[in-house]
Amino acid sequence: MKIRKGKLHGWTFFDTVITIIASIALALTLYPMIYVFSCSFSDTKAVLAGEVVLWPVGFSLKAYEIVMQNVEYWRSMLNSVGYVIANCILMFLTTVSMAYPLSRPNLKFRKFVTYFLLIPMYFGGGMIPTYLLISKLGLYNTPWALILPGCYGIWNIILCRTFMASLPEELIDSSLIDGCSQFATFRKIVIPLSKPVIAVIMIYTIVGTWNAWFGASIYTSRQELWPVQLYLKHLLAATTATTDQKLLESLSKEAYEAARQAALSANQIKYSMIILTTAPIIAVYPMFQKHFTKGIMLGSLKG
């Protein structure tokens, strides 16, 4: 084995330290998810006895059967899917339609518009003014209250504008000389070439919309409009209240055991819902993973 000073076949001590730290971080990140996954498939008695550590013990699908029969859960899932689709479509339209004009050097007042966009990017009106605006527009307790506030993103516009500005100017000029209008050039040349940055923006929108719950808790009081994350939050709160140890200890022995069994069943239902809620976004995320390096590099370009 050929050993160099400070190196072992190109592998440095720094690489070893980083690998160990990354491995520890990976284990700490994955274990809670593995534990939830294992508990959701384990037998109720095994979870109650604390036998589940890493792998499922006493395979059972009872919790998933209960969740699959829950109408409110499926309604909230469909709500989230609808919000994701609507936000993706509107985010695409607002982002590219604003980014392309700003990427053209001959646009009048281009710098002024760019600076005008940067102001609300760093300084927001706050939660109360936003709530009042939603209420005055008549959007409270409607699906639009959960769609319109997230249908545009100034950072996405700046990111997309930077990418479009990096496209060869000669390519766009040649299409205009050949008789294409600005809209035809935008639709047939700029959009196809901008697929990497559009993919990055779409995955940001999908993840952000799917995980959002705070806006729904403020702008709607109708449970039929809840996204799945808000429904899961209320379920977690209800389960936590049920499993209050002091409350359980104040009960009689028989009532204590019955309450513990009910709380455990609720916990397993909670675990199964977490898995079912997280699975769609985990399945979608890897499809766009290859575009993230490109998206990160875009932020470092000047435009």
The CATH number assigned to the domain holding 181 equals 1.10.3720.10
Quote the pTM value: 0.77
Residue for token pair 């399945």: 283
Q: Is 138 left (phi over 0), alpha (psi -120 to 50) or beta?
A: left
Tokens of 23: 């491995």
Task: Among 15, 31, 60, give the residue marking a domain's end.
Answer: 60
Mean pLDDT of the chain: 80
Tell whether 177 and 207 lie within a shared domain. yes
Task: Among 43, 60, 77, give the residue marking a domain's end.
Answer: 60
Tell whether 135 and 188 lie within a shared domain. yes
Model confidence pLDDT, tens digit, residues 154-185 = 888 988 898 888 888 888 888 888 888 888 88
In the chain, how many domains are there?
Answer: 2
- Find the domain containing 41 and state its range: 1-60
Task: Among 36, 60, 84, give the residue marking a domain's end.
Answer: 60
Confidence of residue 289 (pLDDT cuts 50, 70, 90): low
What is the C-alpha separation between 228 and 179, in angstroms, rounded?
49
Count, residues in the chain: 303
Model confidence pLDDT, tens digit, residues 67-115 = 788 788 889 999 999 999 999 999 999 999 999 988 888 888 888 888 8
The confidence score (pLDDT) of residue 144 equals 92
Hey, which bits of 192-252 come out as E strands? Answer: none
The confidence score (pLDDT) of residue 90 equals 94
